Each structure stands twice: as C-alpha cells, then as structure tokens.
Structure 1
Amino acid sequence: MKNESLEIPKVAFDENGELLITASKSSSKDDFDFFQGKSVIRNRKLKSRLTNCDEWIEFPSTQEMYKILNGIGNIDNFLATFDGKPFEGMTVRLFNPITKLWSIYWSDSTTGTLDKPVVGSFENKVGHFFSKDVFDEKPVLQVFRWDARDEKNPIWSQAMSDDKGETWEWNWYMFMTKSS
C-alpha cells in the first residue's frame, strides 16, 4: 500500500514509561484543512487484529469534516453500515497552540464514549499520532497516520504494536476521495 511504505517515527518514552511526543516545527492549526468538506471512503480493515490475520474486510463509508473553535479544532462524522446495521463514528481533533500538538478523540454509536486521544503532528503533509492503549486485555501502542500528500485523495491508516513500537501491524486503511 502506498502509505504503508512510509516509516513510523521511533517511539520514545520518559523515565515513567509515558510516551514522549514532540510537535514538528511546521505543526499548525491548519494541518487538517485538506480534510474539510465531504469524502467518500473505501475502507480496508483487518478481520482480526494482532492475531497474524491476513484476511481483509472492505466496505464503503462517507465522512464530513468542519472546523470548530475559531479554527483550532475540527469534528467529523463517519457513516457506514456494519453487518446490515447503521454505524456512526465521530472524531474531535483539537490543536494546542502552546505545544503545537494535535489530540484526536474518537467515539462511535457502539460505545458512546470518547477514547483516549492519539497525539501528534504533521510534517511534510504526513501526520503521526500516538497513544498507549489496551487491546484484548494487553497493553499496546497505537498510531494513526494521515497521509495528505495528495490532498484530494488522503489516506488514513491505523497500526498497533504489542512490543513497544519495535514492530507494527497495520489494521485499517481509509482511502478517501473528496466529494466537496
């Protein structure tokens, strides 16, 4: 996959085991401007994560993003159908003008709660956003990658690592086409 060939920045930890995330010099509140408006999405998602699965599920979805908070944030709605049932997801992205880091929060119609944020920034139109999480009762690292080098066809992807970032398993890709 085009964006899989991009390298994930090395993950660093402080003395307490917390992630050290530093903003790129070019990080700005305008990093997600390419994503404003509506997109049609082709999703490609692993059927099972961190199990050496190589079976992918593909499905269509739509997404619409708009800016909030005088431009230091944005929200998008993700609409899809899973197993014949409607599914809605929502992302809230907030830019901290002091740290120059983005925090990305996710919620969906299954849980109704906000996930812990992934945090990071863009450099050269590619953004990496990290978090520590738990998956199947095991600690994992998670990364979201936004590849906006082709602003009319951005790619979002997600990977997880169960070995503190030494290896990563890509488990979801969204290939977007701007529709407005």
Structure 2
Amino acid sequence: MSENDFDFFHGHWRVLNRKITDIPGRGTEWVEFEAETEARPALGGGANIELLRAADWEGMTLRQYDPADDVWRIWWASSRAPGKLDPPLEGRFTDGHGVFFGDDVVGGQAVKVRFDWIAGDDPVWEQQFSYDGGDTWEKNWVMRFVRA
C-alpha cells in the first residue's frame, strides 16, 4: 500500500451509476444514470481530488494517504447536502482491491458505510450500508468507470 494506490484513477471518466433511489433498507427501486468525473493528484501525489457531475447535482471526493497510519481516508461532499462534508472512511488496498469503512447518519439513523474499490483499466466502486453494526451489509450504489 502506498500513496500511489489511486494513480489508476487519475483522468477523465464516464460513470455508469446504479443506485437505490431511496434510503437503503427502506427502498428497493434501483435507478441507472450516467455522470462524468475527473480525478487528479493533489498535495504532491499523496492525495487526489475528484469532481463528479451528474445531470442535476455535483459531488466532490478528497482522498488522502496517511503514511504514518498506512491508511487512506476518503471524504465526500455533494450539492445535494450543501455545507456538509461526510465523515471520512478509512482503509487500504490489497492486491488491487480497496476496502474502506466509516460511520455516518442517514435518514436520522446511525449507519456503518463501506466502500469497495476494484482498481484497473475499468474500475468499479461500490457502496454498502449496515444498520446493525456491520453484521449485514446492503449494497446501494455501484459506479462503473469507462475512460473518456
């Protein structure tokens, strides 16, 4: 693991999204939509910034490597929640698979959050929520990236 783990993601991407429309655990309808994103290195390569644009909203991700703790931290902000920066998820890559965990509140309920990153030429990102402390996980968003 190193500050180069997300280098595969630098550049412009077309994003194919599949997402549950409602709060996970209470909704089952999936929607599909496209977006575009650009990720670039920052802070001398030890971080990267991603700007995502969908039809009616924008999102921003900051990922930063902490060499002292040997972990990546990931923060998310969106125009759907102005002024809010989600708590960071923390994790690492092993053999091209990154797993990151954190805690948040969704719909007024405490939730554990998991991100899975599959690195490579056609990367995939998945988000899962757990409402029972991590005993069970519900996938609620999948992004597939195609180089633009």
Q: TM-score, normalised by structure 2?
A: 0.95
Q: 1:107 aligns with which of 71, 77, 89?
A: 77
Q: 1:154 aligns with which of 117, 123, 144?
A: 123
Distance 2:9 2:27 in 1: 31
Match of 2:97 in 1: 126
Q: Residues 41-82 of structure 1: CA distance to partner in whole angstroms, max 9, x if unpaired?
A: 11000112333533101000000000011110000100001x
Match of 1:137 in 2: 108
Q: 1:164 aligns with which of 113, 133, 136?
A: 133
Partner-residue secondary structure (3-state), 1:116: coil
Distance 2:107 2:84 in 1: 18
* Structure 2: tracts of 5 or more residues without a match: none
- Aligned partners of 2:23 and 2:107 also within 8 Å: no
Q: 2:21 aligns with which of 25, 47, 51?
A: 47
How far is the alpha carbon of 1:134 from its aligned partner? Answer: 1.2
- Given the alignment of the two structures, is residue 68 of structure 1 paired with residue 42 of structure 2, yes or no? yes
Match of 2:52 in 1: 78
Question: Which AA in structure 2 matches 1:46?
Answer: I
Partner-residue secondary structure (3-state), 2:8: helix
| Percentage of pairs with the same residue | 39
Partner-residue secondary structure (3-state), 1:94: strand
Q: Aligned pair count?
A: 147
Higher strand share: 2
Question: Over the residues paired in the alignment, what is the CA RMSD in angstroms?
Answer: 1.1
* Structure 1: tracts of 5 or more residues without a match: 1-26
Distance 1:39 1:108 in 2: 18
Question: Which AA in structure 1 matches 2:141?
Answer: W
Larger radius of gyration: 1
Partner-residue secondary structure (3-state), 1:34: helix
Question: Which AA in structure 1 matches 2:99?
Answer: H
Match of 2:65 in 1: 95
Distance 2:110 2:11 in 1: 35
Distance 2:42 2:53 in 1: 20
Spell out structure 1 runs of 4+ moving beyond 6 A. none
